[in-house]
């Protein structure tokens, strides 16, 4: 149990460092990241979803966010789902995914543990903190360790707010069929 807590703490520190790295300095404004972020290139099982596309897209001020494809992969002996999101910046200021929304995964009402995946074709976790400029769009990925291959995977994306209004959110459900 102590190992799991230590691993979770290390993962949280890595994700915080990546998010802070994206907040500082100038961004590239580059929207051409499809070479590194195309979940369909990863070896694994593309997950099925019956959730309508219009239900998995939202506008937050000048930013559009949507939930895309998800793929089940085996990463270091564990079942991991990699979810792809799209972020489009229509505003003047640079934006990044982690500064606009928070994404979580669930199975059977239990929160899934976020996981850092490296060295897998089509997967690039650094996109979470990549800044993009006005008029640009980026594919972003986040991975979660699954609890079971038999349960529906629920991905929730919630707007980060100042606390004055109820945050917007979108949900997409995926099923795993081999």
For residue 88, what is the domain's CATH number? 2.60.40.1240
Give the Cα separation of 57 and 105 in Å (integer): 17
| Mean pLDDT, all residues of the chain | 83
Q: Residues near 61 by Cβ (< 8 Å), separated by ≥ 6? A: 91
Q: Are 41 and 108 in contact (CB under 8 A)?
A: no
Considering only CA atoms, which of 9, 119, 105 is closest in space to residue 75? 119
Per the structure, how many domains does the chain have?
A: 1
Distance CA 135, CA 152 (A): 35
Determine contact, residues 132/89, Cβ cutoff 8 Å.
Answer: yes
> What is the sign of the dihedral through the CA atoms of 82, 66, 28 and 41?
positive
> Which range of residues forms the domain containing residue 166?
2-174
pLDDT tens digits along 67-112:
999 999 999 999 999 999 999 999 999 999 999 999 999 999 999 9
| pLDDT greater at residue 14 or residue 49 | 49
């Amino acid at each position: 149990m102590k190992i799991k807590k230590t691993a979770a703490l290390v993962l949280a520190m890595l994700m915080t460092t990546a998010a802070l790295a994206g907040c500082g300095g100038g961004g590239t404004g580059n929207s051409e990241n499809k070479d590194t972020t195309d979940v369909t290139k990863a070896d694994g099982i593309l997950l099925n979803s019956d959730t309508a596309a219009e239900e998995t897209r939202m506008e937050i001020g000048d930013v559009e966010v949507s939930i895309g494809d998800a793929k089940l992969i085996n990463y270091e002996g564990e079942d991991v789902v990699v979810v792809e999101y799209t972020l489009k910046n229509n505003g003047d200021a640079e934006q990044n995914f982690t500064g606009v929304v928070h994404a979580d995964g669930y199975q059977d009402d239990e929160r899934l543990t976020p996981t850092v995946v490296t060295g897998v074709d089509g997967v690039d976790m650094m996109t979470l903190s990549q800044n993009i400029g006005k008029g640009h769009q980026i594919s972003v990925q986040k991975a979660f360790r699954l609890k079971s291959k038999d349960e529906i995977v629920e991905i929730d994306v919630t707007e980060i707010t100042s606390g004055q209004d109820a945050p917007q959110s979108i949900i997409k459900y995926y099923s795993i069929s081999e």
